[in-house]
Amino acid sequence: MKTMSCNQLGGACEVQFHASTFEELTEMSKQHGMEMFQKNDEAHLNAMKKMQQLMATPEGMKTWFDSKKDEFSKLPED
């Protein structure tokens, strides 16, 4: 298991996600983002806007995904 925070993934808080794979981690982050969207959490909504701008192009999305996946791979096991 490895751990990354919402903030490390471009979010707005320090909620921790624990997963064996990066794909599991991104799914947890996505669920958290949907919960914060439903709660109309301003900080998370602002972070989502920034992420949308960052990922406006396929290249931007791939660059972000690859960099976060690399960061995850370098983390120590919990």
Q: What is the pLDDT of residues 7-62, one digit of tens each?
A: 999 999 999 999 999 999 999 999 999 999 999 999 999 999 998 998 888 898 89
Distance between CA atoms of residues 10 and 6, nearest Å: 7
Q: Using alpha carbons, list the distances in angstroms from residue 54 to 10, 13, 51, 74.
A: 10, 19, 5, 23
> 11, 35 in Cβ contact below 8 A?
no
Distance between CA atoms of residues 16 and 23, nearest Å: 15
> 40, 32 in Cβ contact below 8 A?
no
